[in-house]
Amino acid sequence: MAAIRCGPIWFALEPDLSGHPRDLDRSDLAAAERESALVKWPVPPSAQNRELVLPTSNGRRQVVSHPSITRWSEFSATWGPDRRTIAVEGSTTPFREHVGPLFEGPRRPDPRALALIDSVEGTVQVCDGTFESFCYPPVWSANGDLVALGAPFEPKRLYKVRPEIGVLEVVQFKRHAPIPLIDSARLPSGK
């Protein structure tokens, strides 16, 4: 069985990704959430709040913010292989309530940045560079020395960043870029 998350919803597929999706039972859901690299926020980020409540192992609340991030993403956040560092997308523009039909009028650019958060120390490093609108969940290399992400509004490029340098680098493609994925078996299990 392959457990897949789409936004807040988990479902199961056959290991070869064939067949119809089906619901996970409680034990499968608990195992998928435990093994997943996706961050489960104790308090979901809010468009009206610059602060982000981090998940902690001791049950206490640790709140972080950064002056260049106006709001955080709920679904584009992943744990590094150390299960300490979080890669999360944040918007660099103030939130504006949308008025009128959703797809009417010109599209406004919404630059986003990638932040690397040490969940133990509570430090926030915002990487240099931005991408457009939002990103797929960032993907870490097995040793944590590289993070890759794709932004759907930029179909011919991916971004990569080395955490120790903190600069987004563009990887250009002639056609559509692949979506970075990771096998959850490459992450430490049981944490």
> Average pLDDT of 186-190?
42
- Under DSSP, the state recorded for 164 is T
Q: For the domain 37-96+108-183, what is the CATH code?
A: 2.130.10.10
pLDDT at residue 130, as a whole number: 94
* Domain extent listing, the chain: 1-36, 37-96+108-183
Distance of CA 85 to the CA centre of its chain: 12
pLDDT at residue 102, as a whole number: 60
> Average pLDDT of 152-170?
91
Q: How confident is the model at residue 178 (pLDDT cuts 50, 70, 90)?
A: confident
Q: Is the pLDDT of residue 46 over 90?
A: no
Alpha-carbon distance of 153 to 175, in angstroms, equals 14
pLDDT at residue 189, as a whole number: 42
Beta bridge partners of 147: 140, 161
* 109 residue type, one letter: P
pLDDT at residue 16, as a whole number: 67
Q: How confident is the model at residue 123 (pLDDT cuts 50, 70, 90)?
A: very high
pLDDT at residue 66, as a whole number: 94
Averaged confidence pLDDT in the chain? 82
| Percentage of the chain exceeding pLDDT 70 | 81
Sign of CA dihedral 109, 71, 34, 3: negative
Of the listed ranges 49-53, 130-134, 152-156, the least confidently predicted one is 152-156
SS3 185: helix
Helices (H) and strands (E) in the chain, counts: 1, 13
Model pLDDT for residues 20-42, shown as the tens digit of each residue: 888 888 888 777 777 778 888 88
Model pLDDT for residues 77-119, shown as the tens digit of each residue: 999 999 899 999 999 988 776 666 666 666 677 899 999 999 9
